[in-house]
Every structure is written in structure tokens, then in C-alpha cells.
Amino acid sequence: MFLHDLLFRLRSVMRHPAAENELEDELRFHLERQADKYVKAGMSEAEALRRARLEFGGLDQVKNECREARGVSFVESLAQDLHYSARTLLHSPAFTACAVLTLALGIGANTAIFSVVNTVLLNPLPYPNPQELLAARQNESLANLKDVQSQTYSFASSGGVNISPMDFTGNGEPLRVHAAWVDGGLLATLGVQPMLGRWISADEDVKGGPQNVVLSYPFWRDFLAADPHVLGRAIRLSDKTYTVIGVMPRNFALPRELADVFVSLWAGYPEAAPERGVHFMHTYWRLKPGATLAQAQSEIAEADHRLAEAFPDTERERGTMLMPLQEWLVGNVRPALLILFGAVGLVLLIACANFAMLLMARAVARQRELTIRASLGARNSRLIRQRLTESTLLALLGGVAGLIVAKAGTTLLLALKPEELRLLDVIPMDARVFLFVFAISLLTGLLFGLLPAWSASRGDIAEALRENARTTATGVSRSPLRSFLVTAELALALILLAGAGLLIKGFLRLRSVDPGFNPANVITMYLQLPGTRYPKIPMQTNFRRELLARINAFPGVEAAMISDLPLAGNFVGHRLVVEGQPTPAMGSEPLVQVLSVMGDYYGVMQIPIRAGRDFSEMDRAGQPRVAMVNEMFVRQLLPGHNPIGSRINWARADDPNDWMTIIGVTADVKHSGLNQPVDPAIYTPFSQNDEAWRKFMTLVIRTRVPAAALVEDVKKQVWSMDGQIPLSSIQSMDDLLAVSVAQERFNVLLLGSFAVLAVALAGVGIYGMVAYRVNQRTHEIGVYIALGAQHRDVLRLVMKDGVKLGLVGIVLGLAGALALTRLMVSLLFEVKPTDPATLIAVALLLEAVAILACYIPARQALRIDPMTALRRE
């Protein structure tokens, strides 16, 4: 029945001109036939036609009723309504601008966040059949990867990758690039093909295989001028020559890693490739069609067990955890994004409440016009539809303006994005985003347009009219819907404010964590010695010593170096044994961070030395080996002992009797992040380095000289010693500290700005309500003043309602906050989600805003001149 109706209406619309003609013909036939009848009865033709017309009634009215009966008029009246709405909106630009702006803020903020959610959480991974892709939570060695792959059945393929810096030379300044040292199975696992040439084949991906390289698209474009004949060209990477065999497609990216060039691990780092204990590859796995994660996980657990038994010294603590790739990539950001999305939804609700109140105020202002239209015969449903058309039109305009806000918002988001979203370099506005905007605009227009229209039919407007006519007793008129909206707005704003307050408090706590060093005025830069020219430790030590001497010769500069900088994300972990303590089982010796330093590292970083002494010039190769440890090391591994003089060694060291003596204890440093626990760490002098692969170092330079000039001077010194060593990761320690809390700052900034927006909107809402009522009650207030009311009496009269509603909203909001802030516990650092101080502070803040929002219109009430008010009667 409904379908028939719809088709009929549709046909009526499609065949509109034809249907009009048919109607014309049908009615003309009737009139002529009736006239014929009268002519036959003896009437003159003219008289017959006149009589037929008279009996028929108004022709145009009949036509109209027929059209309405056929349903054509729905579309026609919609067009009419739209035309009418557009005209009236143009006539009241202030109202239109307010409404559109309010919605644009709400919808725009939502759209911006939705675009991010869409891009990060909803879009499928850019690989074929992404649901088959898994990632392992733990890093893996190449040997283990191969063994697990051969001992399991669920996987179609697997691949691994380690990102390491390589020096690209022969193209102007030496450059550090990100090299992906891969297992050849990686690309098949991801299901991608090179754009030019080919990928590393299985028979090349072996010990002694050829030195081949596949380039990323940006590398090929930026450094090889997008040379179409690049295949077969030779490039220099870390002092070796590689032959280009392929170029990846433009849109290709590894799941989580940035890579400029791809080389086989056997070609890039042949020393590490066969080492089972070097767990440094991210591994990706593709399930066979039909295989399940649970099946794969149980197979891999068995393989782990076998490996642990076969190689206990390195593989004892295996426990590979597989997870869907998508989950692995976005699992960390999902909670924050969803909370932000929820928060921004609350902002939209507040904006919608203001929108509804604007519509209500307008409906009252236009009551006379509506009454006239009603008395002219417009049906109630038609009037409601007219108002819905108007509110929907406004909402759609708000949506369009919101798109502009969203565009600006996403640009801002990209500028602020935290490390977890670093692969996100564009936030596209795709069809889904447009659909989202359209849907929420339409919903807003209909729902929040209907609310005031419905309330009007329930008498709110009638009441307002009576108020207008000043026939009601003093102050009894209340609009329940308006009060409800104001209360709800304040409650929602309080929830947002509480969330933001908690995040800010957590963030301040985080920022006030002592990192263990003084980051001010410290510049850092990374460099790595090429293994081809500095294969032996003494050569490396000489380079380091000479470089530090040259930099320290600059006036006003103190320089030192460390293998892995705090907060930079890396450290080398080693197992060790303590002299005099029972030797633990193989593979379960304590694991500590091992950091090598040279120069006055603790002085430059201003890390306090708690006991013993610093390294000296005498602690060099050939002298007894020494080490410094942090306080956490002493607490965990030497409790109750005097650490100074205690001796330690690597677990399963080549020479078990070559002990390192602990000569000093340093304060703890937050190496892995301000919100991470401190691990036990030992520092050894670079000059007693026993690992030739430790060729990398980060310079730390405390300086009062402007950094830019200094960086150039340091580069000159490095290149005068070796022209092919790139300097990279040049950043101040302050910046590094800031980057380490970027995710938290991102959350704080976003939720904070949503809260500000929410409070502003709620303030405008409560202001609007009080201002409206002052306007409505000018006369009454005038009388009140004429009767001798004092300022405070008038203020109390005007502000009473607003302040009361504000309090109710805040109390409700507190209850809501208590219920909802639990959801954000994972985002909070050392703050309980129910932190009373924060909740009280935000409640007071919001109440202050509410009082202010009431006070501004109340002051206007004070200026009412009783005589003018009365004369306006």
C-alpha cells in the first residue's frame, strides 16, 4: 500500500506536465458534457456552459484539491516551503548567521574528528585481503621467523623488517636514510608488487646474495629525479654499492615503519642475519584463506615451545602473540580517538540545544505571521512542515559551513598529530565523511526543528504570547522546554569540562615528572660510523675522542656523547651476572639497559652522581673495566650492598673473569618516557667498548651559543674528519621532551578545546534565555523599579532562574561526569577519574560562567527606565 502510494506520487511528479494536461482534459470533458445536457433540454449554449460552470464550483480550487489528492502537491509545496524559507532567512541575517555559526562549530568539530576516525579506524588497510594479515607483538630474529614459518601450517606467508639508518652518499651532502632490512617474504605477505622492476627474489635473499636495493617512490622521485631508466643503476649506501632492481608504487607504505630503501637483511646486515638471538625484526603474517587466528596462535605456541627447548640461552622466554594487523596498528590510539569522538558528540548536542532555542525564540517573534497564515487556512501540519523545512535548510547550511570548519580542523590536527599517527599524512574527506555531515545535518535539522515545533503545539508559544500581551501574573511563565535545554547544556558542558580538567591535571603531573636530567640548552645530534671504514673499535674510539675534543674547543660549549639518548626510543638490553650472587638459569639472568658514554656526559646532562666517582680519562682500553649504574639498578640487583666496588659481567661473557667494577651510582633517568617506569641501567665508557657494532652515537651539547650556528660548525668538524658521515635527528632536548608527551598533549588540546567550545556554547545558551526573558518582561521590571526595587532586587529577579537552572545542570553534570570519566582512565596519568579537586574546580568554573552569562542581560534590566517601559504599553 505504502509502495503503491509512493510510486503513484513519484509518477505524478515525473509526469507532471502530462498529468496537468490530463486533469485539464478530464475536467473540461465534464463541463462540456454537462453543458450538452442543458443544451438538449433547450438552453442556449452560452447559458448552458454558464450553468455547468456554476454547478461545478471553483475550477482552480478543484484542480488544487485534485493535485493534493494525487500527492503532487507534496513536492510542489516542498519547493514552495524552500523558497519561502530561503526568503525569510535572508530577511533575518542575524538569526541565520547565529544559527548557521552555532551548527557549523558543532558539526565542523564532529566532522574533523570523524575524518580522523574514518581514516584511522574505519578505512581498511591498503593491502589486499587485509583481514588475513597478522602482526606479532614481539620482535623476532630472521632464523626464528624462518623456523616458525616452516613448522606451522596456517600461514600463507610471512615476512620481517628492521628499520635502520643507512648513509646515502654520492649525492651532495651525505644523508641518513631509513633502510628497511627485510626478509624477502615481506612483500608477498603484504600482497604488493613494485611499480618498476621487481622485488628481492627468494634465491637472492640468502647468505652471500647480491647487493640489490628496491627504492621507495619518494626516494626515487627526490634523489634520483624519478629516472625511468633507474633499474640497474648503482647507488652508495653506508659505503657499499647496491644495484637498483625495483621501485615501489607511490602509495605504498609499510604497516608501521617509514622506509626509503629496501634491502635484504643478508645484504644490509649480514653479521646479524644468522644470529638467532638478535630479535629485531617486526614480523607480519598472512593467514591461508580459511585459517583462523586461534589456530595460528596455537601452532605458533607449539613452535615457540620447540625453539625454547632447542635454544634455551636465547629463546627461553618465547611467547609470541599474534594479533590482527589493524588491531596492532590502531589499538593504542583507538581509546583516545573514541573518547574524543564521544566528547565532540556532546559538543554537537550543546550546539543543537542552542539551535533549538534560537528556533523557539524566532517562532515566538513570528507568531503573528503564523497566526495570520493559520487563519488564512494553512493547516497545522503544513505550518509545522514549513518550520521543519526552515530548520533543515539551516542545518544543511550549517553542515556546509561545518565542512569548512572541519577542513581547517583536520589541518590543525595533522600539525598536532602524535607519534602513533605519524603515518597519517593526509586526512581525506571521502564519501563517507560527506555522508556523515549530510546525515548529522539532516538529523539535527529535523530533530531539533521538531522539538520547538512540537513544544509550540503544546502551548509553550501560546504562553509566550500571553507573556507578550503582558496579561499573566508576574513571573509565572516558564518554558519547560527552554529550561530543559539550558539544564542539559550545562550538564553536558560540565561532563566535558570534567574530562578536560582531569586530562590537564594528568598532563601537568606528567610534565612535572623529573626526567632525571636538565633539558634546557642542550642540543643533540645522531651520527653513525660506517662499518667499512671503521671496522675496529680503536678506530671508532679515536674518531669519537677527536670529534669531542674539537667540539669542546668551541667557546661556551660543553659536549659529550651517549649511545642511546633518553626519550629517543632506543636502548640496548643485555643480561648480566653479579659477582657473588648465585648464577641464574641460562636465559633468565637480569636484563638491564646498557648505555655507553664518552666525555662529561653527566655534567652536560646535569644528571646527579649519587655515590662514587665519574669516569675519568684513565678508564680506557687496556685498563680494568669499569661501569656506573643507576639507583634502580642498586635497588633491584644490589639491595643492601655497597654498590661501589661490586663487580658485574655480561651473562655468558667470552671471558667470565674479566669483571667490570662499579665505580659510581647516578640518579635515575626516565629513559623510556616520563610515564614509564625506570629500568635498571648501566653506563660503560665508549673507550672500553667491546662491541664493534656499537658504531652509533648521539652528541649532547650544552651551549649558550645560538643552536643554528653551532649545528653548522659541528657539521663542518665532522665532515672535515670524514666527508661521508651524515648528521641527523638534530633536535634540542626540550623538543625531545615535548615530543615524548605529544600524544598526551594532543588529547589535552583536543578535549580542552572541545570543553572551551562547550562552555562557550552553554554560556551563550543561558545568556540567550535570560536576555530573552528580560526582553519579554521589560514592562514588569519597569513596574518593579517604579515601585522602588533596588538594583539587587532586580538582579535577583532576573538572575534567579538562570542561576538555579545552572546549579541543577551542574549537579546533573557531576553525576554524568562520575559515570563517564571512568572511560578515560587509560588516558590519565596519576589522576583518578573521580578526582574530587578537579570536579569541584570545574563545577565552580562552570557556575561562574553561568552567573556571568546571567549577569550580562541582568545589567541591561537595571538600565530599564520605568517611564519608557510603561509608556511602551
Partner 1 sequence: MPSRSIDLPQGTLDLLILRTLSLEPLHGWAVSERIQQISSDVLRVQQGSLYPALHRLERRGLIKARWGTSENNRKAKFYELTKAGRRELEIEQDAWQKLTAAVSQILETA
Interface residue list for partner 1 (CB under 8 A): 1, 4-5, 8-9, 22, 25-27, 29-30, 32-34, 36, 55-59, 61-62, 65-66, 68-71
From the CB of 433, what's the least distance to partner 1, in Å?
Answer: 39
Taking the least distance from each CB to partner 1, the nearer of 34 and 211 is 34
Q: Which residue has the cell 547550511?
A: 397
- Report CA 444 to chain centroid distance, whole Å: 25
Which CB sits closer to partner 1, 21 or 129? Answer: 21
Pairing state between β 557-562 and 696-703: antiparallel
Q: What is the pairing mode between strands 572-578 and 557-562?
A: unpaired
Cell of 416: 598536532
Picking from 2, 9, 5, the residue whose alpha carbon sits closest to that of residue 73 is 9
Coil vs helix vs strand at 694: coil
Q: How far is the CB of 29 from partner 1 (least distance, A)?
A: 5
> In this structure, what DSSP letter does residue 420 have?
G
CB of 58 to partner 1, least distance (A): 7
Q: Smaller CB distance to partner 1: residue 1 or 90?
A: 1
What is the C-alpha separation between 793 and 801, in angstroms, rounded? 13
CA atoms within 13 A on the CB side of 263: 29
CB of 679 within 8 A of CB of 672?
yes
Q: Do the beta carbons of residue 401 and residue 104 sit within 8 Å?
A: yes
* Residue with Cβ nearer partner 1 (72 or 595): 72
Q: Which is nearer to partner 1, 55 or 317 (CB)?
A: 55
b/e code 280-314 from CB counts within 10 Å (16+ = b): bbbbbbbbeeebeeeebeebbeebbeebbeebeeb
Q: From the CB of 760, what's the least distance to partner 1, in Å?
A: 51
Q: Are 566 and 518 in contact (CB under 8 A)?
A: no
Supply the minimum distance, in Å, between the C-beta of residue 388 and partner 1: 23
Looking at the DSSP bridge assignments, the partners of residue 576 are 650
Smallest separation (angstroms) from partner 1 to the CB of 78: 18
Of 55 and 222, the one with the shorter C-beta distance to partner 1 is 55
Q: Which is nearer to partner 1, 43 or 786 (CB)?
A: 43
User: CB neighbours of 199 closer than 8 A, spacing ≥ 6?
Assistant: 184, 187, 193, 214, 245, 246
How far apart, in whole angstroms, are the C-alpha atoms of residue 604 and residue 601? 5
Euclidean distance between CA atoms 462 and 452, whole angstroms: 12
- Contact indicator for 557, 703 with CB cutoff of 8 Å: yes
CB of 33 to partner 1, least distance (A): 4
Compute the distance between CA of residue 450 and CA of residue 430 in angstroms, rounded to an integer.
Answer: 30
Nearer to partner 1, 29 or 438 (CB): 29
Nearest to residue 161, comparing CAs of 131, 133, 189? 189
| Least distance to partner 1, CB of residue 60, Å | 10
Q: How far is the CB of 48 from partner 1 (least distance, A)?
A: 14
Q: How far is the CB of 10 from partner 1 (least distance, A)?
A: 12
Tell me the three state secondary structure of residue 366.
coil
Question: Least separation, in Å, of the C-beta of 30 and partner 1?
Answer: 5
Q: Which residue, 538, 575, 577, 685, is CA-closest to 626?
A: 685
Contacts of 763 (CB under 8 A, 6+ apart): 849, 850, 852, 853
- Looking at the Cβ atoms of 66 and 811, the one nearer to partner 1 is 66
Cβ proximity to partner 1: between 22 and 734 the closer is 22
| Smallest separation, CB 382 to partner 1 (Å) | 17
Taking the complex as a whole, the smallest distance from the CB of residue 27 to partner 1 amounts, in Å, to: 7
Q: Where are the alpha helices (DSSP H) in 592-658?
A: 601-605, 631-637
Alpha helices in 421-517 (DSSP H): 431-457, 460-469, 480-511
Give whichever of 74 and 95 is closer to partner 1, judged by the CB atom: 74
**b (16+ CB within 10 A) / e for 121-137:** eeeebebeebebbbbbe
CB of 853 to partner 1, least distance (A): 53
- Sign of the four-CA dihedral 18, 24, 30, 32: negative
Looking at the Cβ atoms of 52 and 842, the one nearer to partner 1 is 52
Residue 32: all three cell numbers together: 462540456
Of the two residues 18 and 721, which places its CB atom closer to partner 1 in the complex? 18
Q: Which is nearer to partner 1, 26 or 546 (CB)?
A: 26
Q: Count of CB atoms within 10 A of residue 858's CB?
A: 24
Exposed e or buried b per residue across 168-188, where buried means at least 16 C-beta atoms within 10 angstroms of its C-beta: bbeeeebbbbbbbbbbbbbbb
